[in-house]
Amino acid sequence: MLPKKFRLCKNADIRTVYRKGRSYAAETVVLHLYRRSAETGNMRFGFVTSKKIGSAVVRNRIRRRLRETIHSQLNHLKPVQLDIVIVARAAIKDENWSDLNLTVEKLISRAGMLQMDPIHENR
């Protein structure tokens, strides 16, 4: 679980990310991101697991795993005011931990969020 200041909770914020942000898709997850105009604040993450994916137990486990992938990458990310929403797809049920970790890492690097990459601007 991430500390509270890194969480993206409000439905309105998530809708903003969907509408104005860019997205990067893999077979199991979709990553939406949107750069806020405000200069203050942290990077914020939201996780979406719909009822299509499974029961409450399955959804909880997937959400926890996704949080963990982000948590392990947190130190390598650029400190930019980004709102990020990660949406789980139905295929995620069968993916194991290491594959999921790799997928998320790839998506993050494609989105240009890693610290060593040259800076991309997302508008």
> Interface with RNA includes 102 (CB under 7 A)?
no
Q: Which is nearer to RNA, 2 or 112 (by Cβ)?
A: 2
In the complex, minimum distance from the CB of residue 123 to RNA, in angstroms, rounded to a whole number: 26
Q: How far apart are CA 120 and CA 117, in angstroms?
A: 8
Which pair of structure tokens corresponds to residue 49? Answer: 């697991």
Give phi and psi for 91, each to the nearest 5: -70, -10
**In the complex with RNA, which residue's Cβ is closer, 5 or 123?**
5
Binding mask 29-48 for RNA (x = CB under 7 A): -----------------x--
91 binds RNA (CB under 7 A): no
- Main-chain dihedrals φ then ψ at residue 47, nearest 5 degrees: -125, 135
The stretch near RNA (CB under 7 A) out of 29-37, 54-62, 82-90, 110-118 is 54-62
Q: Show Cβ contacts of residue 64 under 8 Å, excluding neighbours closer than 6 positions.
A: 1
Rounded CA separation 118/96 (Å): 31
Q: Which of 11, 79, 116, 121 binds RNA (CB under 7 A)?
A: 11
Residues 6+ positions from 116 with CB-CB distance below 8 Å = none
- Under the rule (CB under 7 A), what is the footprint of RNA? 1-4, 7, 9, 11, 46, 55-57, 60-61, 63-65, 67-68, 71, 96-98
